[in-house]
Amino acid sequence: MRRTVGFFLAPAVFIALLALPLAGLSPAAHRLAAVMAAVVVLWVTEALPLPVTALLGAAASVVLDVAPAKEVFAPFADPLMFLFIGAFILARGIFVHQLDRRVAYAVLSLPWVGARPARILVAFGAATALISAWISNTATTAMMFGIGLSILAALQSRTAGNTMDPRYASALMLMTSFAASVGGLATPVGTPPNLIGIGFIRSQLGVEVTFFQWTLIGIPVVTVLFGFLAVYLNAVGPSGVRELPAGGELIRHEREQLGPWTTGQRSVALAFSLTVTLWVLPGVAALIWGQGSSIYLALSRRMPEGVAALVGAALLFILPGRNGPAITWREASEIDWGVVLLYGGGFALGVLSFQTGLAEAVGRGLTGLLPGHGSLGFLVASVVLATILSETTSNTASANMVVPVVIAIGRAAGLDPLEAALGATFGASLGFMLPVSTPCNAIVYGSGYIPLSRMMRWGLALDLVGVVVIVTLVRLLSPLVR
């Protein structure tokens, strides 16, 4: 029904906005407003695949003479596009060689975890969040989902009298989804909205948020949110039993099945470690020698994040794997190109909105709607808006829609938009209440262990705490990215 509505509503909105006289807009901005309104409708209703909608919006901007093709498609060659590509190829190498499973079972096998369901829940979530900081939230959820189902099956089969509380199964499944979404906030490459927000902040505010600087905010946000998640899910999803030997036995068995480290796993670990080092090195140099030092400037200029990701990805084609290189082009080409194109199209529309003056006009029009005065009220409103929108559409589309508008509103209101832009970027990855909010939620909802009402109640609690945590930590730590 939603897709059907989108097919009819998008062209209707497009035609209506083209026909209406929009005072204060240039002809190019007027036409772009019609295009972007139709794109937003298509994104929210998912009438077309999200990447197709982004490409269609960029193409329509050229057809309607909003800007020349060379300008419209320039963001598709933005350096962050290559950070996406390089990071995705590295993540693909991790997946192909099952390095992610090795990390997951290593965490679950820690001595303190044992066979206690409460500790298994926390360790399982910690492994999920750790992996999700580096590879796609959806891929992490898909991988950990299978591991979680295996753990549940073993625990339930060994529970005498079938006394395990069914809420524990819901908690473990939702931990899979929620921890993956939360963990993605730790690093710029953890989830696409992070890079989308960083791109708009750099292009429109002139603030370069490095990999290291992002983690100074992202890691504390993840730490606090995961701490709440671990306590909350253990409280609302008790297992009903204190200890089950089957849990420890299963995890030990699965880890043993992985066998010794393979050549491919060592190669991927080496390439990944080098890439992370190159990502973090400029930030470390800035701390030691200062941002004006020749060492920091040389590292930032010659080894930006996108180049470091491509160097690491290229190493996978050189280092040895099973029967050749650690990754083949056939394997590497299976990365999520849709997200890359979605980022490029969304970024192109955002840049055009500033070039044509549309963003400024929208900002002036929405300034009066700000709740309260000052930067704090603006920050709260931005995070809440991004969170609400992420409940109904993908977090990537949410970031593409909200971050440019937030920047425009801040400028029109005479406020520093950096805090609000960061808050909206983080907020776009919230949205835990519905199966349609994220692919992660949809995957675990399919398990049959999660009643919809339970997902909504527990997800709402995490949404509310997430807004508070993001507002507080962005307010405290945003000076670190200046």
Residue ranges of domains in the chain: 79-332
Q: State percent of the chain over pLDDT 90.
A: 37
Confidence of residue 373 (pLDDT cuts 50, 70, 90): low
Q: Positive or negative, the Cα torsion across 311, 312, 313, 319?
A: positive
- Give the three-state DSSP class for 245: helix
Is the pLDDT at 10 greater than 90? The verdict is yes
Residues 378-433 have pLDDT tens digits of 899 899 988 887 886 678 878 888 898 889 888 888 888 999 999 999 999 988 88
Provide the greatest CA pair distance for the chain. 72
Is the pLDDT at 161 greater than 50? The verdict is no
Is the pLDDT at 101 greater than 90? The verdict is no
Q: CB under 8 Å to 27, separation ≥6 — which residues?
A: none
The first and second tokens of residue 288, run together, are 């030691």
Q: CB under 8 Å to 26, separation ≥6 — which residues?
A: 356, 357
Q: CB under 8 Å to 251, separation ≥6 — which residues?
A: 105, 108, 109, 113, 120, 151
In this structure, of 54-58, 157-161, 359-363, the range with the lowest mean pLDDT score is: 157-161
The string of DSSP codes covering 76-124 is GG-HHHHHHHHHHHHHHHHHHTTHHHHHHHHHHT-TTTTT-HHHHHHHH
* β-bridge partners, 320: 325
Tokens 């909802």: give the residue: 445
Residues 192-231 have pLDDT tens digits of 889 889 999 998 898 989 899 999 999 999 999 999 999 9
pLDDT of 61: 95
- Give the separation between CA 197 and CA 209, rounded to whole angstroms: 10
Contact 397, 346 (CB under 8 A): yes
The first and second tokens of residue 222, run together, are 């993840």
Q: Average per-residue pLDDT in the chain? A: 86
Residue whose C-alpha is closest to residue 61's, from 347, 363, 340, 339: 347
pLDDT of 246: 54
Residue whose C-alpha is closest to residue 387's, from 225, 261, 201, 263: 225
Alpha helices in 184-326 (DSSP H): 192-205, 211-236, 245-258, 263-289, 294-302, 305-316
